[in-house]
Structure 1
Amino acid sequence: MVKNALQAQLLKAGLVDNKKAKKLSKQAVHEQRTGQSNDAELKAKIEKDLQEKLAKDQALNLEKKRQLEEKTLQASVIQMISHHKIKDTDGELTYQFIDENKIKKVYINQQIYNALVSGSLLVAKDQGGYAFLPKALADRINEKMEGFILVNNAENKEAVTDEEDPYAAYVIPDDLMW
């Protein structure tokens, strides 16, 4: 009555009795006839795990792609800054600005100083220092990625004054030399 060799060995060893062996073989035959087996549950679990793994892999791929695009954009902005920065800026005048809550001082010539004060030039971060860029280029860089433009005096000139301010008629120059 024992259908396979393993059951025969277990019976001989005394680990399983005849009644238990018959019950297991009948259960196996019944599962084969009705198609009710644990295989369906196992296949469903495997399919579910596969779907979860695919979703996780897609999320990781999207994150890697986003990081790569961000690095590419940052590299292109750095290249634009280094390619278009104004080269001959050394001079005797000092220009101070704030970078990461620290006051920075650069020495520039009078022409660059006047352009910075008027807002036609802007200060941007360059790899190890600072670069002076034309306003149009700086606006394009700021549209692509923020954080590179440090000083933009053109925005200060566009600020709206309060109508009830008694000193609104008096213009305060921001290029005073002490």
Structure 2
Amino acid sequence: MALSLQEQLLKAGVADKSKAKQARAEKRKQKKRKQPVDNAAQAAAQEALAAKKVKDRELNQQQNAVKHERSVAAQVKQLIDLNKQSRSKGETLLNFTHDNKIKRMYVTDAQHKGVLAAKLAVVLLEEEYELVPIVVAEKIAERAPQSVVYIAEIDQAVTDEVTEGTEDWYADYEIPDDLTW
């Protein structure tokens, strides 16, 4: 029976198990160190890993940009849907420009005056023009400026005319003294 030197020393009691284990570990480490390291292959692998990281980072940025665009579009759609003015009984023609073309839509008289007084704005939602309050149009412009089609520039003469028309409706009527509210 041929025992290794290490086993023979253990049997004889000259060496203990922990030292034998330590010697085996040292032997394995030396074997690994003796294996030639291919620097060119290692460098190529690191370059490939770095290129993959860059490519993954760019892909993540593109995906985040797409998610952000979808989020903004959903916010704009929701703002318009919740705040659009009904134009169902509109008989007054409102003319405005969009992309250097004159566009038309039928609105009520009050809505027409609101647009001229810059209280309402025309916005574009899925190829449809809608009227929303100016405050909402400003929020939409922060998110997607291309959705806001027309906001009237306030002309003082038009504003005075609109405000005078609304204040003087009952000027011709006499209010009785005995009227109680």
1:62 corresponds to: 61
User: Counterparts in 2 of 1:70-149, with a 5 A limit?
Assistant: 70-149=69-148
CA distance in structure 1 between the aligned counterparts of 2:57 and 2:43, rounded to whole angstroms:
21
CA distance in structure 1 between the aligned counterparts of 2:66 and 2:141, rounded to whole angstroms:
19
Deviation at 1:92, TM superposition (A): 2.0
CA distance in structure 2 between the aligned counterparts of 1:85 and 1:61, rounded to whole angstroms:
36
- Equivalent pair of 2:123/2:132 in contact (CA under 8 Å): yes
What CA deviation, in whole Å up to 9, does each residue of 1:81-105 have, x standing for no partner?
A: 0121011453221111112232111
Note closer, same or farther for the CA distance 1:118–1:89 as it changes in structure 2 (3 Å cut): farther
CA distance in structure 1 between the aligned counterparts of 2:33 and 2:148, rounded to whole angstroms:
75
For 1:109, the aligned partner's letter is T
CA distance in structure 2 between the aligned counterparts of 1:41 and 1:35, rounded to whole angstroms:
15
Give the match's secondary structure for 1:90: coil
Which residues of structure 1 form unaligned runs of 5+? 1-31, 159-170
Deviation at 1:151, TM superposition (A): 0.8
Note closer, same or farther for the CA distance 1:33–1:114 as it changes in structure 2 (3 Å cut): closer
Deviation at 1:63, TM superposition (A): 1.1
Which residues of structure 2 form unaligned runs of 5+? 1-31, 160-181
For 2:98, the aligned partner's letter is D
Give the match's secondary structure for 2:122: strand
What CA deviation, in whole Å up to 9, does each residue of 1:58-110 have, x standing for no partner?
A: 11111111111111111111121012101145322111111223211111111
2:52 corresponds to: 53
- Equivalent pair of 2:87/2:106 in contact (CA under 8 Å): no
Note closer, same or farther for the CA distance 1:90–1:33 as it changes in structure 2 (3 Å cut): closer
For 1:118, the aligned partner's letter is A
Q: TM-score, normalised by structure 2?
A: 0.63
Select the structure of larger CA radius of gyration.
2
